[in-house]
Amino acid sequence: MGPVPPTTKIADLTGPGLTDAFGVGGTDLGIMTTAPDGRLVAVFGDTFDDAGVGGPGWRSPVVLFADPRSATSPGGLLWTGSGGDRKAYACQLVDHPPAGWMWKRRITTILPADVITVGDTMYLHAMANRGLGNVLWTEVLASTDNGVTWERTGCERPGDHCAGLFQQLTWCHGDDGYVYAYTTGFQRNAGLLLHRVPAESITDPDAWEPWGFADERWAWGNPATITIPGALGELNLRRVPGPDGTLHWLLTFFDAGNYRIDSLLLDRPNADLYRAPRATVLHGCSWDAEDHARGHVAQLYGGYVVPGSTLSDLHLVVSQWNTGTNWPYRSMQFRTDLSELVAAG
């Protein structure tokens, strides 16, 4: 395919003057879906009252709501409220479990991986960490009130499930009754696995079916097999309309090994990822080489599709954390045009 048009920054989404009303000074991620009532829901990771990392109000995950009419507007997302038990303050969605049973070791944070809406219920896949990157277990949370409050479903897996490659997860609903999920580890040092599960059985670990290679063929039910190698991090699988309105599977991910955010256009959820049209939408760079108007961002990660996007007007929520000074530590909105991927496919 030809060169992708430069990805340009639309707006900062979090930080001073933007999310103070919700007690959100420093935060990251911003994984998005549409709630059953039509509002946009963004789930953020480690959040602090003040700008940066550290200080009072450390909690995760938290939710902010946005007006769907602002999804692809020139000024970026417009926040309208927050989740939790207080209207203005974005509260931690669930408490850390008490000591005992499988929660014997104290955890430091619960980080979101992806959120999905199935019927009238929203599900959040989350990773319980003891220190950043040491995932003790993953679990699925659920909300039946459009993302305001969340409860544990009892669906938990140990951190070493699938050899540790079922930690970072992204999922998307197909037309065939299945939810498809790509996964990898939290450590950004491995490739991707693929599973599927009947949509009504998301919280049943035994209902998940791997995609794998055995007996010289790929098939569902074979042992889970790496679909593409790499050093990959945050993942986002969504169905996005193309130029003619046809829905396309789009897999966006942080490619830590190449220090960039890439997108793959898939003809089906279990497509051959080696042959799928691929585009780099954002390039990592040093702090003195930043150019947000041309898609060069220092210490970037994430890359989550904003609902309402199309391939020709694709909006992404992208995180940035200056680990040297702890600010910026924020989420931002970028826009790009990936319509050329359709022709390349």
Alpha-carbon dihedral 60, 302, 276, 230, rounded to 10 degrees: -90
Is the per-residue pLDDT at 98 higher than 80? no
Q: Which of 36-40, 85-89, 262-266 has the lowest average pLDDT?
A: 85-89
Residue 28 in domain = no
Please give the residue range of the domain that contains residue 143. 105-344
φ/ψ of 263, rounded to 5, equals -130, 140
Residue 75 in domain = no
Which residues have CB under 8 Å from 40's CB, separation 6+? 32, 33, 34, 65, 66, 67, 68, 71, 77, 306, 307, 308
pLDDT of residue 102: 54
Residue 42 in domain = no
pLDDT of residue 106: 82
Is the per-residue pLDDT at 4 higher than 90? no
pLDDT of residue 3: 57
Residue 225 in domain = yes
Is the per-residue pLDDT at 2 higher than 60? no
Question: Which of 333, 116, 117, 343 minimizes the C-alpha distance to 242?
Answer: 343
Distance, CA of 70 to CA of 184 (rounded, Å) = 32
pLDDT of residue 63: 98
Q: Which two tokens stand for residue 177?
A: 């009754």
pLDDT of residue 105: 65
Q: How many CB atoms lie within 10 A of CB 313?
A: 17
pLDDT in tens, 232-283: 999 999 999 999 999 999 999 999 999 999 999 999 999 999 999 999 999 9
Question: Which of 185, 344, 172 minimizes the C-alpha distance to 254?
Answer: 185
pLDDT of residue 69: 96
Which residues have CB under 8 Å from 296's CB, separation 6+? 282, 283, 284, 285, 289, 290
Distance, CA of 9 to CA of 192 (rounded, Å) = 28
Q: Is 79 helix (H, G, I), strand (E, B) or coil?
A: strand
pLDDT of residue 68: 97
User: How many structural domains are present in the chain?
Assistant: 1
Q: Is 68 helix (H, G, I), strand (E, B) or coil?
A: helix
Taking CA 281 as the corner, what is the angle to CA 280 and CA 282, rounded to the nearest 5 degrees?
Answer: 100
Distance, CA of 201 to CA of 188 (rounded, Å) = 28
Is the per-residue pLDDT at 103 higher than 80? no
Distance, CA of 71 to CA of 82 (rounded, Å) = 17
* Mean pLDDT (the chain, rounded): 95
Distance, CA of 238 to CA of 260 (rounded, Å) = 19
Please answer whether residues 232 and 219 qualify as being in contact, where contact means their C-beta atoms are separated by less than 8 angstroms.
Answer: no
For residue 244, the 8-state DSSP code is: T
Q: How many CB atoms lie within 10 A of CB 287?
A: 12
| pTM value surpassing 0.75 | yes
What's the rounded mean pLDDT across residues 299-308?
A: 98
For residue 69, the 8-state DSSP code is: G
Q: Residue 169 is part of a domain; what is its CATH number? A: 2.115.10
Is the per-residue pLDDT at 17 higher than 70? yes
What's the rounded mean pLDDT across residues 55-63?
A: 97
Is the per-residue pLDDT at 187 higher than 60? yes
Residue 196 in domain = yes
pLDDT of residue 294: 95
What's the rounded mean pLDDT across residues 113-125?
A: 98
What's the rounded mean pLDDT across residues 31-49?
A: 98
What's the rounded mean pLDDT across residues 112-119?
A: 98
Please provide the size of the chain in residues. Answer: 345
What's the rounded mean pLDDT across residues 216-228?
A: 98
Taking CA 79 as the corner, what is the angle to CA 74 and CA 82, rounded to the nearest 5 degrees?
Answer: 160
pLDDT of residue 87: 73
pLDDT of residue 216: 96
Q: What is the CA radius of gyration of the chain?
A: 19
The better pLDDT of the pair 73, 104 is held by 73
pLDDT of residue 100: 57
Q: Which two tokens stand for residue 56?
A: 């009072």
Q: Exposed, middle or buried by CB within 10 Å (0-12, 13-18, 19+), for 210?
A: middle
Return the bridge partners of 107, or none. Answer: none
Residue 33 in domain = no
Residue 4 in domain = no
Percentage of the chain surpassing pLDDT 90?
92
Which residues have CB under 8 Å from 317's CB, separation 6+? 13, 29, 30, 31, 32, 42, 302, 303, 304, 306, 331, 332, 333
Q: Which two tokens stand for residue 153?
A: 């479903």
Distance, CA of 30 to CA of 62 (rounded, Å) = 9
Residue 48 in domain = no
